[in-house]
């Protein structure tokens, strides 16, 4: 949205992918559900599926946690998983993925979502594009290969093409050394050929 707003104001924004991320759907570790389809996720978060027994879990109402509506993760999950339908009014929005993880870790009937960097302390579930194929667990490998259904590129937006120190810094971020730091902070490095292509020559 901000990218489009800038373009509408005549600002020539420069966009470059610097890493990958997967939006992980996570449950309390005691929840027996291990995988969900995109349609089931859509039903859960729009309110048409309200009980865990409808997706193979215990007979108990589902407690929804999510990000605040100013979050890019909120918008991306709405687009990818909800197909731009509205979130259920029962969704409890929290300021930051760490807060969502904390809530789900304490609520055995909770479900939440967030970046792969925040999955510790909860159980990530495998996500299936449809019921006829195996679910895919969010891992570095499945995100890099584009197999995990809710994955995305992470972008930098600059005011025009980078030059000077900014160009040097951006190219360092896209170098093997910079991409290693992305991995150390629990994001997923770009494939080597993509990182090299994104460097400013």
Q: Which of 74, 109, 76 is nearest to 95 (CA)?
A: 74
pLDDT score recorded for residue 3: 66
Q: Give yes or no for residue 87 having a pLDDT over 90.
A: yes
Domain boundaries, the chain: 20-151
E strands, the chain, are: 13-27, 35-37, 63-67, 92-94, 110-115, 123-124, 126-128, 151-159
> How many Å apart are CA 170 and CA 156, to the nearest integer?
9
Q: Give yes or no for residue 10 having a pLDDT over 90.
A: no
Over residues 105-161, the pLDDT tens digits come to 999 999 999 988 777 789 999 999 999 999 999 998 999 999 999 998 999 989 889
Residue 18: how many other CB atoms lie within 10 Å: 19
pLDDT score recorded for residue 172: 97
> How many Å apart are CA 30 and CA 5, to the nearest integer?
44
Q: Which of 136, 153, 109 is nearest to 36 (CA)?
A: 136
> CATH assignment of 20-151, given 3.40.190.10, 3.40.1650.10, 3.40.50.1000, 3.60.15.10?
3.40.190.10
**Phi then psi dihedrals of residue 125, to 5 deg:** -105, 150
DSSP state at residue 185: T
């Amino acid at each position: 949205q901000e990218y489009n707003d800038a373009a509408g104001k005549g600002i020539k924004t420069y966009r470059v992918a610097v890493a990958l991320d997967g939006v992980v759907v996570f449950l309390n570790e005691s929840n027996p559900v291990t995988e969900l389809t995109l349609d089931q996720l859509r039903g859960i978060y729009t309110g048409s599926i309200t009980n865990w027994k409808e997706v193979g879990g215990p007979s108990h109402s589902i407690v929804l946690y999510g990000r605040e509506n100013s979050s890019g993760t909120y918008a991306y999950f709405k687009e990818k998983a909800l197909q731009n339908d509205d979130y259920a009014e029962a969704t409890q929005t929290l300021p930051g993925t760490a807060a969502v993880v904390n809530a789900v870790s304490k609520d055995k009937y909770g479900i939440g979502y967030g970046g792969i960097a925040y999955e510790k302390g909860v159980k990530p579930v495998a996500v299936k594009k449809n019921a006829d194929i195996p679910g895919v667990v969010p891992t570095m490998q499945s995100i890099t290969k584009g197999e995990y259904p809710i994955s995305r590129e992470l972008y930098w937006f600059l005011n025009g093409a980078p030059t000077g120190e900014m160009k040097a810094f951006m190219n360092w971020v896209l170098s093997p050394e910079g991409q290693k730091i992305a991995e150390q902070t629990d994001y997923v490095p770009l494939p080597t050929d993509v990182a090299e292509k994104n460097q400013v020559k």
